[in-house]
Amino acid sequence: MNTTPLGLKEAGPLAYPLVHRVLADHGIRALSLKGSVAAAQRLRPTRTSNDVDVLCDASAMAAAEHLLDGLGWFRYSGAETDMMAIGMHATTFCIPGWPCTVDVHSHFPGLLAAPQDAFDYLWRRRVPVVLAHQAVPAPAPEDHLMVLWLHLLRGLRPDQEEGARAQFALGWKALTPEQQERAVASARPWARSSRCGGACSRSARSRGRSTSASQTLCIAGSSVAAFPVTPEWCGLPAGRPRP
């Protein structure tokens, strides 16, 4: 038997189906996020990740942690730990013998909606993504892009903004026009970004109908998308997402 160690490049696409199977076999809903999943949806370039991410049903987070503890997957708190996440809304596990870690999130930073509401919203709109010949549930591409964008904006330094802008634009272009419309519609009620809130500018732009103001989605002053303005977006509302 070939004993070549499992590499990071190989681990991600295999770890997602494994984590999904473990949780699903025990009735725990979870969505696979970022990494190989996002690459499969063409929302970001394929690259090697150190970890795999799942967004767990918030109501089942404790059960998921208990389950993974019981499998001998040990909790990780080392140099690569995302300290903004761990202890606040995610737990990192190591699978014995695997080079990657597994981040199990109960919530994702930047989402205004309550964790359970946000998960239920994403779950209703989920799509299957095939990795290693196994289908794993993932957010719809337009929702996933927003989640990735919120992740990008956390702690973004000025020298990183151009790269972030380019990455978002890449994912945006991967969406169909219909998905882009839905991305705007879903971003309004439950997602927010402090950068967007601070940098949004109002510009009058006709959309082929009666003159209506449109909001420009900005990152550091550069527009990456435009959509009709709504008071809710400008007001950065909190509370339940719209169905």
Binding site for another protein (CB under 8 A): 1-4, 6, 9-10, 13-14, 17-18, 21-22, 25, 71-72, 96-98, 131-134
Closest separation in Å from C-beta 233 to another protein: 41
Q: How far apart are the first and last CA of the chain?
A: 52
**Do the bridges between strand 212-219 and strand 51-56 make them parallel or antiparallel, or are there none, so unpaired?**
unpaired
Instruction: Give the sheet arrangement for strand 201-205, strand by strand.
Output: 201-205, 212-219, 222-228
Strand, coil or helix: 144: helix
Q: Which amino acid type is present at position 68?
A: L
Closest separation in Å from C-beta 170 to another protein: 23
Nearest residue (CB) to another protein, 66 versus 173: 66
Are 188 and 230 in contact, with CB atoms under 8 Å apart?
Answer: yes
Closest separation in Å from C-beta 177 to another protein: 33
Nearest residue (CB) to another protein, 124 versus 133: 133
Closest separation in Å from C-beta 73 to another protein: 9
Closest separation in Å from C-beta 128 to another protein: 13
Give CA separation, 140 vs 30, 41, 165, in Å.
Answer: 14, 9, 21
Nearest residue (CB) to another protein, 17 versus 189: 17
Are 226 and 217 in contact, with CB atoms under 8 Å apart?
Answer: yes
Nearest residue (CB) to another protein, 1 versus 79: 1
Nearest residue (CB) to another protein, 73 versus 227: 73
